[in-house]
Structure 1
Amino acid sequence: MTTAVLPEANRPRQLKALALTLGIHAALLLLFFGIRYAAPQPVAPPAEELGMEVNLGSSADGFGTEQPELMGDPAPEAPVTASASGTPEEATEPITASPSNDPDATEIAPKKETLQPVKPKPSTPKTSPARTAVASTTPAVTKPAEAPRKAKVLFPGSTGTGGNGAQRDAAGGSEGNTFGNGDRGVTGGTPGAKNYEGSPGRGTGGVNHTLSGRTILAPRLEGNFRNGGTVKMRVTVNRAGAIVSSSVLSGSGELVPIAKDKLQQVRFSAAPEGPVEQFGTLNILAVAHHPRYAQTLEYLFAQLPMFTRIGAAAYKADLSNTLALCAALGNPEQRFRSVHIAGTNGKGSTSTALAAFLQAAGYKTGLYTSPHLVDFRERIRINGEMIPEAFVVDFTDRMHPLMETIQPSFFELTVAMAFEWFAQEQVDIAVIETGLGGRLDSTNVITPLVSVITNIALDHTALLGDTRTQIAGEKAGIIKPGVPVVIGERDAETEPVFLEKAALEGSPIQFAEDCWQVAALDQRGRMRTYEAAQPATGNSLFFDAGLSGSYQQQNLATVFTTLDVLANLGLSVQVSDASEALADLSEQGLRGRYEILQEAPLIVADVAHNPQGLEAVLQQWTSEVSGTKHVVLGFVRDKDVAAALRLFPKDAHYHFCQADIPRALPVDELTAMGTDTGLSGTAYPSVVEAVAVARTLLGTEDSLLITGSFFIVGEALGALE
């Protein structure tokens, strides 16, 4: 092979040509770069995207009277300028880079940062750390003034118990309230708080959602969860508020199938003028139950005599067991102030309303009531929050040796449990409702600030006596030496009993009707307007309350009179707080008192179970119904069922049933008694089936009443929710 060798004389000329070629290429490259990457012209920054930032409040745009300073609120901005090196000076909030002018360039997603709620402070803009950037000069751009921000999504919240869904370790749950306006839309609201709507104060789960303008009407999601977590679902909601389709976006393990089942219970508010279908996400928060809670309840229900299930066999007509339990605990009932409430009817409503007033006044308030409707823990609350499952388990473990020795009743143990929790949590005051009678009731070991007796009617006659005078004597047993007493109802037959007992004990006595007269006025959905007048002063006030039953006017007069007594004893309580305190007593756990479960068709549940209570309920219900009347009805054995049946309208259709307890009156006996009384209907083996069939028969103008006992209403609520 031959290799050509360039003559030495041609080498300089060739090098010169090479240099010229390289220079031309370099010039072309610079020209192309300059054209291709010309400095971008000044452009206005993109409009701020609020995304899912939410401000809670009562006004239409989600704010209160002042726009609050919340997480993500824009701080005052300095003009954005670029340094000679191309590194911009940062303003007080992150800057989103302008998009490249090169349509083929790869888009680089800006780094996401976690923002902390801060209040803007006037300061000199800081210089960011050096960044690698293309060397170019960007003229200063001044961001134009922004219009007032508006929330993209409104969530209803509440300033009451539940804390807008804040996780509370002590409660073991994420609590939330079904209704009310959020506290984040006003100055002083809580920034960063998640708003989970859930069963009021239950602390066993909740939901939130992204459907603008909607509220959740039926989010009762407690129960069944054994592991905590959140399931996120995409939902489609129609104008009526029903979920028409759903899909799971995230969630794991056993939570997903349970959440799907729970989703069937969720109902949103209607939006007649909205889109035919609205899309959004729904987060269902599951809170784990204590692993031994169900086992503990089974033990308590099975091993301890329970009056609500078996009747008189569980009643112990002395206080020895309660005194022994309290002594073993160091007498917790002596470590908090209390109000003691007895009576045949209305004591649950009176107790709950009084507790709501005390809580509204700023007192940490315990509440003990019975029986429960759905969850045992309904009986024992502090500021509306049910007793934690862990406390129930630990208390039962601790008291087990003594329980095996003295064999207390279920009620005796739960009274001691309530006293211990109230003392341990250092409540300011507790409202204690008697279980049965008064003189020998397990709760009658306290010395209260005031004793209250709502009214007297014939009930539990086998245990308390078969006359109103005898029953009044048993109820009067809660009157303590020197302790003021309030009587809710003045009655010629029972008044002398109370006057004599009060004189014997040296206790000042007042009858509520002498102090306050309350009238039930307009009904608007689940709210009713009341007028309360004070005869002695001529003063009066109007207020709205979540108490639909017109019979509540007597209970409210009793509550107001009791508040006056407490105020005279030095407590800072006042009846003028009525609208705030009574807006939604379901937050305190009051249910089944002329509770409107649905408006069209009207479905009402009431726990009335004796002739006096049923008469008041039926008088109101029959006057409000224009269409066909349906009644889901059941009783327990030890009631005056024959007298009660005579009160029911004969033009209604009856769905006779029996609760799932040994004490229930068998449905075949009830059906036969109803037929003899002229009431026509159908017998069902369970409350669930009776409710299900009755609902299918309802037209828009029709109504369904569910009543007869606590247990019928409790099982019906479980079926409906």
Structure 2
Amino acid sequence: MFRQIEPALEALMKRKNQTYGIDLFRQCLEDMGNPQDSLSCIHIGGTNGKGSTTNYTRAILQESGYTVGTFTSPHLMVHNDRIRINNQNITDSDLLIYINVTEPFWDRYQLSMFEIDVLISFLYFLDQDVDYAIYEVGLGGRLDATNVIHPLISGITNIGLDHMNILGDTIEKIAAEKAGIIKPNTPLFTTESKSSCLEVFHQHAHCMQTEVHPIETPVPHRSGMAYHFEVLGDSYSIENQAIYQVANASLAINLVKALPQLAISTQTIQNAILNASWAGRFERVSEGVYVDGAHNEMGIEMLVRSMEMLPRPWIAVFTALKDKDYTLMINKLESVFDEVIITQFDFYRSESAENLAFGHHVTIIKNQYDAIDAGIKHRNHGTCVVTGSLYFISEARDYLKKKQYN
């Protein structure tokens, strides 16, 4: 039994995937009485935007007076922020309790850290009697540990070429993995528009005797730092948020509107999405300095679109993980930013600055904090964006918050 949270988290984070698939995890849940089956769940997958969509959905339901649990990954600041109720992290004391409750099952079922986190969330949400539990898919969908739930409704944001070494080397193969979250008689809503992906979704839905509801992403009207758009005939606005959040907010609104026996007013939804912030997603940490979790080509493209009204020069501080197609990401940054600073950080999956920069006209500053300092200095009165990896911006955000650049 662990008596303190630090050694407990250290042991938890050492748990790696030992098996491929979720069969053992299902057996573990069966042994524990299938706690997930007693939760009213919403399942959200996709390549980009699933965390933001989870947050918007949470905000709308919470604004309506419901108690809402959310499970997201990876954590941005502390491990606890993966498991939240009404946007408040699980406390260290509660997390320690559930680590000790689940620890006897870790070796018996060869559970990974992610599976343990999911298991803890089930038990915690059940004990706290949440009205809804929203689960963000970790990776893919079909074989993700969150895919043991039986949701009321599911959402898929979009499909892009990411994690191809695991999910497949074509957009259709990746779509099939993402479509694995489709459950019998559970409608799927999606903002994906590619016909090849929608065809895959419809095929899976047909097998599950359910329906796919494609959502056309609204074309927003921009006014200063606000975007105005319509969803289901009603007008909404978001402020000081990236343009890509329009699609995520639209999906969240459709999901909530489709939940049975709910009647939520347009004003309630507007209040919720206006005040919903999601750390690390086009987040302004100080004057002219942003962090954004873009970690694939699609994410970088949406980041660039969101910067159109920001002052130049534009300086990017970038790094990436080894398994990413970072060449395409850097090409995009080079084509629009005035300077791209390449760095690296201390993480076993992090790519070296030399490998990232090879063949590009960029500035190399290996130390991540020196790179951030340089980016902010070089921006003059323009804009510096720190991006490339959620793991990286977690550290960068903490550094910037402590330094409080002005």
- Give the TM-score normalised by structure 1: 0.53
Give the aligned partner of residue 404 of structure 2.
none
User: In the alignment, what sits opposite 2:244?
Assistant: 551
Aligned to 1:413: 116
* Corresponding residue for residue 385 of structure 2: 705
Determine which structure has the larger helix proportion and give its number: 2
**Residue 575 of structure 1, CA deviation:** 4.1
Residue identity matched to 2:283: E
Inter-partner Cα distance in structure 2 for 1:363 and 1:663 = 39
Question: In angstroms, what is the RMSD of aligned CA positions?
Answer: 1.9
Find the aligned partners of 1:670 and 1:334 in 2 and give their Cα distance. Answer: 45
Deviations 1:479-526 (A, max 9, x none): 11111111112211111111111122111221111xx735152244xx
Q: 2, 9, 12: which is aligned to 1:300?
A: 12
Shift of residue 397, structure 1, vs aligned partner: 1.8
Partner of 1:79: none
Listed one character per residue, the Cα deviations across residues 162-208 of structure 1 (whole Å, up to 9, x for unaligned) are xxxxxxxxxxxxxxxxxxxxxxxxxxxxxxxxxxxxxxxxxxxxxxx
In the other structure, the counterpart of 2:229 is: 531
Correspondence 1:143-158 to 2 at 5 A = none
8 A Cα contact 1:668 1:683, kept in partner: no
Q: 1:631 is paired with a residue of what secondary structure?
A: strand
Q: Displacement of 1:421 after TM fit?
A: 0.5
What CA distance in whole angstroms lies between the structure 1 residues aligned with 2:343 and 2:289? 17
User: C-alpha separation between the residues in 1 aligned to 2:59 and 2:353?
Assistant: 38
Give the structure 2 partner of residue 583 of structure 1. 274
Amino acid across the alignment from 1:293? I
- In structure 2, relative to structure 1, the CA distance for the partners of 1:635 and 1:520 (3 Å cut) is farther
What is the distance in 2 between the residues matched to 1:570 and 1:359? 16
Which amino acid is the alignment partner of residue 235 of structure 2?
L
**Quick one: distance in 2 between partners of 1:381 and 1:500?**
34
Q: Tell me by how many angstroms 1:620 deviates.
A: 2.7
Equivalent residue, structure 1, for 2:350: 664
Q: Secondary structure at the match of 1:456?
A: coil
Note the alpha carbon deviations across 1:382-402, whole angstroms, 9 max, x for none: 111111111221222222222
Q: Which residue of 2 aligns with 1:593?
A: 281
**Does structure 1 residue 517 correspond to structure 2 residue 218?**
yes
Change in CA separation of 1:640 and 1:520 when aligned onto 2, cut-off 3 Å: farther
- The 3 A distance-change label for structure 1 pair 473 and 639 is same
Deviation at 1:533, TM superposition (A): 4.2
- The one-letter code matched in structure 1 to 2:10 is E
Contact 2:42 2:154 in 1 (8 A): yes
The AA in structure 2 aligned to 1:300 is L
- Native 8 Å contact 2:282 2:303 kept in 1: yes
Q: For residue 396 of structure 2, what is the amino acid of its counterpart?
A: A
Of 283, 294, 299, which aligns to 1:613?
A: 299
Amino acid at match of 2:269: A
Q: Are the counterparts in 2 of residues 654 and 681 from structure 1 also a CA contact under 8 Å?
A: yes
Shift of 1:639: 0.6
| Structure 1: runs of 5+ lacking an equivalent | 1-289, 306-313
Deviation of 1:316 after TM superposition, in Å, equals: 4.4
Tell me the distance in 2 between the aligned counterparts of 1:615 and 1:529.
18
Residue matched to 1:691:
372
Distance 1:417 1:578 in 2: 30
Work out whether residues 333 and 446 of structure 1, in 8 Å CA contact, stay in contact via their aligned partners in 2.
Answer: yes
* Larger displacement relative to structure 2 (400-409 or 331-340): 400-409
Aligned position for 1:506: 209
Distance 2:93 2:257 in 1: 37
The residue type equivalent to 1:592 in the other structure is G
Look up the equivalent residue of 2:285 and give its one-letter code.
L
Matched to 2:84, the amino acid is R
**Counterpart amino acid of 1:467?**
T
Equivalent position amino acid for 2:376 in 1: R
- Structure 2 CA distance, aligned partners of 1:393 and 1:295? 10
CA contact (8 A) 2:249 2:273 kept: no
Post-superposition CA distance 1:463-489 (Å, at most 9, x none): 111111111111111111111111112
**Greater CA radius of gyration, 1 or 2?**
1
Cα deviation 1:535-592 (Å, max 9, x = unaligned): xxxx33133x3551011122122122212211xx112334442331123323xxx211
Q: CA deviation at 1:329?
A: 3.2
> Using the alignment, how far apart are the partners of 1:413 and 1:446 within structure 2?
15
Contact 2:25–2:109 (Cα < 8 Å) also in 1: no
**Number of the residue aligned with 2:184:** 481
Deviation at 1:315, TM superposition (A): 7.5
CA–CA distance in 1 between the matches of 2:224 and 2:8? 43
Residue identity (%): 30
* Larger RCO (CA under 8 A, 6+ residues apart): 2
Q: Aligned in 2, Cα 1:357/1:320: closer, same or farther, shift over 3 Å?
A: same
Letter aligned with residue 86 of structure 2: N
Indicate conservation of the 8 Å contact 1:341/1:431, yes or no: yes
1:322 Cα deviation after fit: 2.2
Secondary structure of 1:690's counterpart equals helix
Q: Per-residue CA shift, 1:254-273, capped at 9, x if unaligned?
A: xxxxxxxxxxxxxxxxxxxx
* Cα shift readout 1:662-693 (whole Å, capped 9, x = no counterpart): 00011221122xxx13x3213223x2232123
Residue 367 (structure 1) shift: 0.6
Deviations 1:286-322 (A, max 9, x none): xxxx971122111212x211xxxxxxxx484311232
SS of 1:582's equivalent?
helix
Deviations 1:83-132 (A, max 9, x none): xxxxxxxxxxxxxxxxxxxxxxxxxxxxxxxxxxxxxxxxxxxxxxxxxx
Distance 1:533 1:625 in 2: 27
Closer, same or farther: CA 546–393 of 1 in aligned 2, 3 Å: farther
SS at structure 2 position matched to 1:367: strand
> What's the TM-score, normalizing by structure 2?
0.93
- Which residue of structure 2 aligns with residue 142 of structure 1? none
Aligned counterparts of 1:598 and 1:369: Cα–Cα separation in 2:
25
Following superposition, the deviation at residue 696 of structure 1 comes to 3.1
Aligned partners of 1:452, 1:547: CA distance in 2, in Å?
25
Following TM superposition, by how much is the alpha carbon of 1:595 offset from its aligned partner in structure 2, in angstroms?
Answer: 1.0
**Quick check: 1:560 aligned with 2:245?**
no
1:396 paired with 2:99, answer: yes
Following the alignment from structure 2 to structure 1, what is the Cα–Cα distance between the partners of residues 18 and 383? Answer: 38
Q: Count how many residue pairs are aligned between Structure 1 and Structure 2.
A: 399
Deviation at 1:529, TM superposition (A): 3.6
Q: 1:654 to 1:574 in 2, by over 3 A?
A: same
What is the deviation of 1:637? Answer: 0.4
Pair 574,499 (structure 1): closer, same or farther in 2 beyond 3 Å: farther
Q: Distance between the aligned counterparts of 1:292 and 1:520, measured in 2?
A: 51
The answer (yes or no) to whether the contact 1:372–1:379 under 8 Å persists in 2 is: yes
Distance (whole Å) between structure 2 residues aligned to residue 399 and residue 607 of structure 1: 31
5 Å-filtered alignment, 1:8-19, equals: none
